[in-house]
């Protein structure tokens, strides 16, 4: 009997030491004593309720920030057991609240996985609270007990009765201001995490209320992480319905939702037992590896790749993925213990992802192709950016300036004051050089038809002399490397002949600018010079820009007029070219604008792609549209 008493006493002392340790080193249990640690107290209690939900006994969790600064977490689970604990001979609820590491289930079933950051349980919450009250509804009775920094204020008591089916736990706590620097709870911080918990535990309704401000939120997601991925993508342009799969291997449950958007950001959110694994880990590595392989396999099988396999970066551009795992014995590593270390998980996630994605791609070829195309776009942009970078590097190596020999630069250096004329052909280039105002107008003659960048590989684009001259003269670089700060002229003016060839060259240039220097267009730096079609002479010269206008002018001036048709820019003498097309006081310029980026993309790929007919039609239709900037 004495021996038994000693054993009991000894373990009791151990318990007290346990909670003392929590107060001595709170950060070891809740991460910090700052804002994050304070809110962790709420999550610790909520996680216990979520465990009840995972076990199938709870579907409602209510969190409220009370007017007196305390927080209440109420659930409709089974209620913490109240019967005497076999070892401690006190109600189980008292053990759970006052004994360190007693927070876990006594009957840890296969899926009873604690979601707490450190799995410390609610005893840590009570240890760090100046007051905590627990109400348990179980077996038709309502029980209550209160605790001060982890010590019971009185024995568990029955305070009322209720329906036998009405069960649950209600925990109210007042964080100890001797421990926490600030004990005020932040609604939006709780909101974010509780929403996340609701996404990760479908069909669990989580309510959040701030009794002071009367703010209220309810989270309930029947679609679980499918709704999560949609929610993350809600402001983005999704490319397809979410891909979803879930499978289990060796007790590890893998659940994943994937959705690509038209954007460029990669967003993979990993959760292990509902903990956001901010630092990544083996599950993320397994997922990424399988994603890259599954997409390359599909693309290869369907002969969609021309420049070899896609890289991981390519296939993750525009990707949003939610990866949620249930791991029975998770090993958390890293600075903030949010990196999954279990080595076996990598292979499990890899295999499940590979099989599931491959299956999905086979069954949904339209979506699969859309994803492959997205990755191909990324690949194109990436290699374009690399070429441009190399180009800039090469340019710097050759400095001073390293400007193309064909460029007739202007003398002013301030880009706000200068303009660059891109002129079709060397002869027109010659006239333009004579006609220009050297101070602020630079001329870059282009050899005939420039390369169609829509059809050429980036490698070809960046080894093309005309394009390299163009990029070097403009100065900004291209693609990811584009920098408006380096722009050497505030107006880039495309000046081509007023005929079909001229229109074609103009479209080729526009395609180049759209695909490689889009910000230049968005910033309003790109213009098209409008050159006249005719010169009508009667007393003085009239320049006419269209056939319609010519008719009107002839009607107005009578029938003995001299009409001269300009076949090309080269036919005009320098004075005429200056008067009609280059003098800022009298010239007409069309500013190039992109009204709808998606549509523009489609237009350029359609027009500059392989089909010739729609291109011709477009050029004929649009050649003389657009607003006029004088
Ligand atoms: C220990 C054992 C069981 C449930 C719980 C604890 C429990 C803890 C919390 C904390 C907040 N809400 C909670 N709900 C339940 C299992 C109960 C059983 O076997 O009946």
For every residue of 157-221, DSSP letters joined together read: EEEEE--TT--EEEEEEEE-TTT-S-----HHHHHHHHHHHHHHSTT-EEEEEETTTTEEEEE--
Q: What is the mean pLDDT of residues 161-182?
A: 97
| Separation of alpha carbons 432 and 441, rounded Å | 10
**pLDDT for the residue numbered 42:** 97
**pLDDT for the residue numbered 388:** 72
Q: Is the pLDDT of residue 24 over 80?
A: yes
- Residue 577 sits in a domain whose CATH number is 3.40.50.670
Ligand 1 centroid to 217 CA: how many Å?
25
Is 49 close to ligand 1, i.e. is its CB under 6 Å away?
A: yes
Q: What is the mean pLDDT of residues 288-304?
A: 98
CB contact set of 536 (below 8 Å; sequence gap of 6+) = 542, 543, 544, 550, 553, 554, 557, 561, 562, 563, 564
Ligand 1 centroid to 192 CA: how many Å?
25
Q: Is the pLDDT of residue 538 over 80?
A: yes
Q: Are 391 and 462 in contact (CB under 8 A)?
A: yes
Q: Is the pLDDT of residue 416 over 90?
A: yes
Is 520 close to ligand 1, i.e. is its CB under 6 Å away?
A: no
Is 48 close to ligand 1, i.e. is its CB under 6 Å away?
A: yes
Q: Which of 331, 353, 382 lies at the terminal end of a domain, its last residue?
A: 382
Q: How confident is the model at residue 600 (pLDDT cuts 50, 70, 90)?
A: low
For ligand 1, atom 12, which residue shows the shortest CA distance? 49
Mean pLDDT for the chain overall = 86
- Answer yes or no: do 74 and 176 share one domain: yes
Q: How confident is the model at residue 558 (pLDDT cuts 50, 70, 90)?
A: confident
> What letter would DSSP give residue 241?
S
pLDDT tens across 109-158, in order?
Answer: 323 344 444 446 899 999 999 999 999 999 999 999 999 999 999 999 99
Q: Is residue 3 part of a domain?
A: no
Q: Is residue 197 part of a domain?
A: yes
- Answer yes or no: do 582 and 435 share one domain: yes
Is 68 close to ligand 1, i.e. is its CB under 6 Å away?
A: no
- Answer yes or no: do 149 and 71 share one domain: yes
- Answer yes or no: do 414 and 545 share one domain: no
- Answer yes or no: do 261 and 297 share one domain: yes
Is 81 close to ligand 1, i.e. is its CB under 6 Å away?
A: yes
Ligand 1 centroid to 345 CA: how many Å?
29
> Among all chains, which residue has been given the structure tokens 């684009």?
461
- Answer yes or no: do 238 and 205 share one domain: no
- Residue 128 sits in a domain whose CATH number is 3.30.565.10
Q: Are 230 and 222 in contact (CB under 8 A)?
A: no
Classify residue 588 as left (phi > 0), alpha (psi -120 to 50) or beta: beta
| Separation of alpha carbons 629 and 626, rounded Å | 10
- Answer yes or no: do 312 and 236 share one domain: yes
Q: What is the dihedral of CA 175, 176, 182, 185, to 10 degrees?
A: 10
The region of weakest confidence among 15-24, 35-44, 494-503, 538-547 is 15-24
Is 122 close to ligand 1, i.e. is its CB under 6 Å away?
A: yes
- Answer yes or no: do 303 and 352 share one domain: yes
Q: Is residue 446 part of a domain?
A: yes
- Answer yes or no: do 296 and 282 share one domain: yes
Q: Is residue 393 part of a domain?
A: no
The alpha carbon dihedral of 433, 436, 441, 447 has a sign of negative
Q: Is residue 622 part of a domain?
A: no
User: What is the number of domains present in the chain?
Assistant: 4
The CA–CA distances, whole Å, from 606 to 434, 501, 504, 611 equal: 38, 19, 15, 7
For ligand 1, atom 6, which residue shows the shortest CA distance? 80
pLDDT tens across 244-277, in order?
Answer: 999 999 999 999 999 999 887 788 999 998 888 9
Ligand 1 centroid to 182 CA: how many Å?
30
Is-above-0.75 flag for pTM? no
Active-site residue numbers?
424, 497, 499, 501
The alpha carbon dihedral of 82, 84, 90, 95 has a sign of negative
In Å, how far from its chain's centre is CA 629? 37
- Residue 249 sits in a domain whose CATH number is 3.30.230.10
Q: Which of 42, 77, 91, 115 to mutate to test the pocket of ligand 1 (most atoms within 8 A of CB)?
A: 77
Q: Is residue 42 part of a domain?
A: yes
Q: Which of 194, 219, 244 lies at the terminal end of a domain, its last residue?
A: 219
- 122 Cα nearest atom in ligand 1: 10
Q: Is the pLDDT of residue 615 over 70?
A: no
With CA atoms as reference, report the closest residue to 136 among 115, 120, 118, 158.
158
Is 107 close to ligand 1, i.e. is its CB under 6 Å away?
A: yes
- Answer yes or no: do 339 and 239 share one domain: yes
CA max distance for the chain: 133
- 73 Cα nearest atom in ligand 1: 11
- Answer yes or no: do 150 and 234 share one domain: no
Q: Is the pLDDT of residue 586 over 90?
A: no
Ligand 1 centroid to 115 CA: how many Å?
13
Q: Is residue 557 part of a domain?
A: yes
Ligand 1 centroid to 185 CA: how many Å?
25
Is 103 close to ligand 1, i.e. is its CB under 6 Å away?
A: no
Is 85 close to ligand 1, i.e. is its CB under 6 Å away?
A: no
Q: Is residue 448 part of a domain?
A: yes
Give the H/E segment covering residue 414.
none
For ligand 1, atom 15, which residue shows the shortest CA distance? 80
- Answer yes or no: do 548 and 508 share one domain: no
Ligand 1 centroid to 105 CA: how many Å?
7
What residue numbers bound the domain in which 304 lies? 225-382
Q: Which of 202, 219, 236 lies at the terminal end of a domain, its last residue?
A: 219
| Separation of alpha carbons 348 and 329, rounded Å | 15
Q: Could you give the angle at which helices 343-363 and 365-398 cross, rounded to 10 degrees?
A: 110
- Percent of the chain at pLDDT > 70 equals 86
């Amino acid at each position: 009997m004495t021996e038994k008493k000693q054993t009991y006493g000894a373990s009791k002392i151990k318990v007290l030491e346990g909670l003392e340790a929590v107060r001595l080193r709170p950060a070891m249990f809740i991460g910090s004593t700052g804002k994050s640690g304070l809110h962790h107290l709420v999550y610790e209690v909520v996680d216990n309720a979520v465990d009840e939900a995972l076990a199938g006994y709870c579907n409602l969790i209510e969190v409220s920030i009370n007017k007196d600064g305390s927080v209440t977490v109420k659930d409709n689970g089974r209620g913490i057991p109240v019967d005497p604990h076999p070892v401690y001979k006190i109600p189980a609820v008292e053990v759970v609240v006052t004994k360190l590491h007693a927070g876990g289930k006594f009957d840890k079933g296969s899926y009873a996985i604690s979601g707490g950051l450190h799995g410390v349980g609610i005893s840590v919450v009570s240890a760090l609270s100046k007051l905590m009250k627990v109400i348990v509804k179980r077996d038709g009775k309502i029980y209550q007990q209160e605790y001060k920094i982890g010590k019971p204020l009185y024995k568990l008591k029955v305070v009322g009765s209720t329906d036998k089916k009405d069960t649950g736990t209600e925990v109210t706590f007042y964080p100890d201001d001797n421990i926490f620097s600030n004990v005020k709870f932040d609604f939006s911080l709780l909101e974010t995490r509780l929403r996340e918990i609701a996404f990760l535990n479908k069909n669990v309704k989580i309510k959040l209320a701030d009794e002071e401000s009367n703010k209220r939120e309810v989270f309930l997601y029947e679609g679980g992480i499918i709704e999560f991925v949609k929610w993350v993508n809600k402001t983005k342009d999704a490319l397809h319905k979410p891909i979803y799969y879930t499978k289990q291997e060796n007790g590890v449950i893998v659940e994943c939702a994937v959705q690509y958007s038209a954007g460029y950001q990669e967003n993979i959110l990993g959760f292990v037992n509902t903990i956001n694994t901010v630092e990544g880990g083996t599950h993320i590595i397994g997922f990424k590896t399988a994603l890259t392989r599954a997409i390359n396999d599909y693309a290869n099988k369907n002969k969609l790749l021309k420049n070899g396999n896609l890289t991981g970066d390519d296939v993750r551009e525009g990707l949003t993925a939610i990866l949620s795992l249930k791991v029975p014995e998770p090993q958390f590593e890293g600075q903030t213990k949010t990196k999954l270390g279990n080595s076996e998980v990598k292979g499990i996630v890899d295999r499940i992802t590979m099989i599931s994605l491959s299956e999905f791609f086979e069954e949904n070829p339209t979506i699969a192709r859309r994803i492959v195309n997205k990755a191909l776009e990324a690949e194109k942009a990436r290699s374009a950016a690399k070429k441009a970078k190399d180009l800039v590097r090469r340019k710097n190596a050759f400095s001073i300036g390293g400007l193309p020999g064909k460029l007739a630069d202007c003398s002013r250096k301030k880009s706000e004051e200068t303009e660059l004329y891109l002129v079709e052909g060397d002869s027109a280039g010659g006239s333009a050089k004579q006609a220009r105002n050297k101070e602020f107008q630079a001329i870059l003659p282009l050899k005939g038809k420039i390369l169609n960048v829509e059809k050429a590989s980036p490698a070809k684009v960046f080894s093309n002399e005309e394009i390299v001259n163009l990029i070097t003269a403009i100065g900004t670089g291209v693609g990811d490397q584009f920098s408006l700060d380096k722009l050497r002229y505030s107006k880039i003016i495309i000046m081509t002949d007023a005929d079909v060839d001229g229109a074609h060259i103009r479209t080729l240039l526009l395609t180049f600018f759209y695909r490689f220097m889009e910000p230049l267009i968005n910033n309003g730096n790109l213009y098209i010079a409008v050159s006249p079609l005719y010169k009508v002479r009667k007393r003085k010269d009239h320049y006419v820009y269209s056939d319609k206008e010519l008719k009107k002018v002839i009607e107005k001036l009578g029938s003995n007029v001299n009409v001269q048709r300009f076949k090309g820019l080269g036919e005009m003498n320098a004075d005429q070219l200056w008067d009609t097309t280059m003098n800022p006081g009298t010239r007409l310029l069309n500013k190039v604008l992109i009204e709808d980026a998606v549509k523009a993309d489609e237009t350029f790929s359609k027009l500059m792609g392989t089909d010739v007919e729609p291109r011709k039609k477009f050029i004929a239709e649009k050649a003389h549209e657009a607003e006029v900037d004088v």
